[in-house]
Amino acid sequence: MNRSHINPELSNSSISAEPPLVNPELEGGNFFWQGGTDGILLLHGLTATTAEVRPLAKRFHDEGFTISAVLLPGHGTTPEKLNQTPRREWIAVCEKAYFELQEKCSRVIVGGESTGGILALHLAAEHPEIKALLLFAPAMRLASSLLQTLFLIAVSPFVFAIPKKFENDPDTIPWQGYKVNPLKAGVQLLKLQYETEKLLPRIYQPILIIQANLDETVDLKSGEIILRGVQSAVRESHWMEKSKHAVILDQEFEEVVSTTMKFVKKILQ
C-alpha cells in the first residue's frame, strides 16, 4: 500500500473513470515455474500484482529453484473488487499456493514484499515446516500517525479510495497495480497486521529482512518489531540506503538479489 493523503471529498466517480491499473501491459497473474526440489513462494503487496515479484522470481528460477507466485484476490481487476475482498481470502489463497508448491518440493521458502511479507509471516506461524522467510519492506506498521490511522478507519465506510502518491516512479520500474488505495482494503491490512503480530512468537524459521532507507509507506521500525517478536535463532536484517518502498524493483535490485541469494543458499546448504 502506497502512502497517500486522505481527501474525504474524493468521489467514487472520479476514481472509476480512470483506468484501474498502472502498467497494464505487464504480466501480473499467477505463475508457476518448475525447477528443482527447493521451492520459493513469492507474495506481492497490497494493490500490486505478481509483476512486483517477477524479476526476483526469474533470478531464483535461473538458479534452479521452483518458483510460485499467486495473484491475491481482489488484485489485478479493479479497486472496487479489492474493497470487497476480506483478508481471509488473501490468507487462504497463499496457503493453497503453499500446499501446491509443497507437493512439488522437499523444502519451501516463503518470501513477500510489503503486505506480502506480513502474509508470509502469517503462513509461517501456521506452518512451522516452512524452511525460511524472506521479507522485503514488510508492512508490519504503516508510516502514518495514530490520528491518521484512526481517520482512515473512520472514513472507510464513506470514502471509496484515496489517490496514491507513488514513491517509486511506476514509469521506470516494472510495477503493476492500482492507481488508488481502496480504504476498506487498507482497514483489512490493519487487521492483518494486528493478527499477525500476535502470531510472531510462534515463528522459529530463519528470517531475512531487507528494508529501504527511503521508504515512506512502511514504518521503518517494522523490521525491529518483527525481530523482537519472533523466536528465530537465525536472523538477518539489511538496509538498502538508496531504495524506496518497492525495494525488490528499485536501483539496488542487484544488491537485494545478492543478499537474498546468499541467505537462501546458507540456509539450504
Q: Can you give the pLDDT at residue 1?
A: 52
Is residue 268 pLDDT above 50, yes or no?
yes
In this structure, the number of other CB atoms found within 10 A of the CB of residue 36 comes to 14
- Confirm whether pTM is higher than 0.85: yes
| Model pLDDT for residues 17-31, shown as the tens digit of each residue | 567 999 999 999 999
Q: Can you give the pLDDT at residue 84?
A: 97
Tell me what percent of the residues of the chain surpass a pLDDT of 70.
Answer: 93
Q: Can you give the pLDDT at residue 135?
A: 98
| Model pLDDT for residues 138-147, shown as the tens digit of each residue | 999 999 888 8
| Model pLDDT for residues 34-54, shown as the tens digit of each residue | 999 999 999 999 999 999 999
Residue 192 C-alpha from the chain's centroid: 12
Residue owning grid cell 511506476: 170
Residue bearing the bigger pLDDT, 14 or 149: 149
Is residue 72 pLDDT above 80, yes or no?
yes
Please report the sign of the dihedral spanned by the C-alpha atoms of residue 232, residue 118, residue 43, residue 129.
positive
Pairing status of strand 66-70 against strand 132-136? unpaired
| 168: Cβ contacts below 8 Å, ≥ 6 apart | 175, 244, 245, 246, 249, 250
Q: Can you give the pLDDT at residue 17?
A: 56
| Model pLDDT for residues 169-208, shown as the tens digit of each residue | 888 899 999 999 999 999 999 999 999 999 999 999 999 9
Per-residue H/E/C for the chain = CCCCCCCCCCCHHHHHCCCCEECCCCCCCCEEECCCCEEEEEECCCCECHHHCHHHHHHHHHCCCEEEEECCCCCCCCHHHHHCCCHHHHHHHHHHHHHHHHHHCCEEEEEEECHHHHHHHHHHHHCCCCCEEEEECCCCCECCCHHHHHHHHHHCCCCCEEECCCCCCCCCCCCCEECEEEHHHHHHHHHHHHHHHHHHHHCCCCEEEEEECCCCCECCCHHHHHHHHCCCCCEEEEEECCCCCCCCCCCCHHHHHHHHHHHHHHHHC
Q: Can you give the pLDDT at residue 165?
A: 84
**Domains, the chain:** 12-268 (3.40.50.1820)
Q: How far is CA 34 from CA 29, 58, 147, in A?
A: 16, 11, 47
